[in-house]
């Protein structure tokens, strides 16, 4: 009699251990298994359930964002790549230049990024780039667009300053302005430099666009 009772206890114990082991195996199957077991209903995740800033560029499928999804007036020349800028600024009254990157260093006295010579006229000027601070300290970086006025003076068309943390952190600069009318043509210069020596940085994807301004037409 005692033997049968012990056998029943062992049987129940073996079954309980087996069930526990199966539960552990399912739990260790990874988050995929857990998510599948939980079972999210179709279209159950909406904007309120997504954490702000959680969706990055890598989460978007290729060609997922098209023109119809972009709000009118939210893009500027700074948001266009080289091919797009060349397409939209093609013609005798528009000028465009860009680089993959440009090194910035307190050891290099030449801070020039671009020099663009244009014919006589007034021009809307737009420039942009991303500063990568490779130095050991936080630094303020200043970029400016200038043009000479006569032989002695310089007109600053636009200035942009950004504080960038050290260790390869990034900061964006964007400049917009109007170059003064010049009857004999002019050279528009974009330059960038750090404010605290020593510094080492890169200006990534710098670009500049100049579009001649036409005369206003009364309607």
Q: Which of 212, 214, 215, 213 is nearest to 95 (CA)?
A: 212
Residue 79 falls within a domain, yes or no? Answer: yes
Are 92 and 18 contained in the same domain? Answer: no
Please indicate whether residue 26 or residue 125 has the higher confidence score (pLDDT): 125
Q: Is residue 44 part of a domain?
A: no
pLDDT confidence of residue 118: 87
Alpha-carbon distance of 118 to 85, in angstroms, equals 17
pLDDT number for residue 77: 55
172 or 16, which is more confident? 172
183 backbone dihedrals φ, ψ, rounded to 5°: -70, -30
H-helix segments, 102-175: none
Give the model's confidence band at 84: pLDDT under 50 very low, under 70 low, under 90 confident, else very high: low
| Residue 101 sits in the same domain as residue 6 | no
Q: Does residue 28 sit in the same domain as residue 127? A: no
Could you tell me the pLDDT band of residue 33, with boundaries at 50, 70 and 90?
Answer: very low
153/208 same-domain check:
yes
Q: Are residues 102 and 205 in the same domain?
A: yes
Domain assignment of residue 63, yes or no: no
What CATH number corresponds to the domain at position 117? 2.60.120.1340
Gap between the Cα atoms of 124 and 169, Å rounded: 31
Statement to judge: residues 99 and 148 lie in one domain: yes
Domain assignment present for residue 199? The answer is yes
Same domain flag for 191 and 98: yes
User: Tokens representing 99?
Assistant: 């680089």
Residue 62 lies in a domain: no
The whole-number average pLDDT for the span 99-120 is: 93
Burial degree of 170 (CB within 10 A; 0-12, 13-18, 19+): middle
Residues 6+ away with beta carbon under 8 Å from 36: none
Is residue 194 one of the residues assigned to a domain? yes
Q: How far is CA 31 from CA 11, 38, 137, 196, in A?
A: 33, 10, 40, 48
Domain limits at 26?
Answer: 2-38
* Same domain for 111 and 32: no
CA distances from 5 to 9, 16, 25, 188 (A): 6, 17, 31, 98
Total domains present in the chain: 2
Dist. CA 101–CA 121, nearest whole Å: 29
Asked if the model's pLDDT at residue 117 lies above 50, the reply is yes
Q: What is the pLDDT of residues 143-172, one digit of tens each?
A: 999 998 888 889 999 999 999 999 999 999
Block residue for tokens 């009118």: 72
Q: What gap in Å lies between CA 161 and CA 193, rounded to an integer?
A: 10
pLDDT tens-digit series, residues 172-197: 999 999 988 776 678 999 999 999 99
pLDDT, mean over the chain: 77
- Do residues 157 and 202 lie in contact, with contact meaning Cβ atoms separated by under 8 Å? no
Give 100's contacts (C-beta < 8 A, 6+ positions apart).
Answer: 204, 205
Residue 32 has pLDDT above 70, yes or no: no
Q: How far is CA 63 from the centre of its chain?
A: 17
**Dihedral sign (CA 103, 86, 186, 173):** negative
pTM of the model: 0.58
């Amino acid at each position: 009699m005692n033997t049968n009772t012990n056998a029943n206890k062992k049987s129940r114990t073996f079954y309980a251990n087996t069930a526990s082991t199966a539960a552990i195996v399912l739990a260790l199957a990874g988050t995929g298994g857990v998510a599948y077991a939980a079972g999210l209903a179709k279209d159950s995740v909406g904007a309120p359930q997504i954490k702000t800033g959680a969706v990055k560029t890598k989460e978007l499928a290729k060609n997922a964002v098209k023109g119809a999804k972009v709000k009118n007036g939210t893009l500027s020349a700074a948001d266009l790549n080289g091919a797009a800028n060349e397409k939209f600024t093609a013609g005798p009254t528009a000028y465009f230049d860009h680089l993959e990157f440009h090194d910035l260093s307190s050891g290099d006295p030449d801070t020039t990024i671009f020099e663009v010579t244009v014919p006589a006229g007034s021009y809307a000027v737009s420039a942009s780039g991303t500063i990568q601070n490779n130095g050991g300290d936080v630094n303020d970086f200043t970029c400016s667009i200038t043009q000479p006025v006569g032989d002695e003076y310089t007109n600053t068309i636009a200035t942009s300053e950004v504080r960038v943390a050290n260790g390869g952190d990034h900061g964006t600069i964007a400049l917009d302005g109007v170059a003064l009318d010049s009857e004999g043509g002019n050279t528009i210069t974009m330059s960038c430099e750090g404010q605290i020596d020593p510094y080492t940085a890169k200006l990534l994807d710098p670009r500049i666009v100049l579009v001649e301004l036409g005369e206003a037409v009364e309607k």
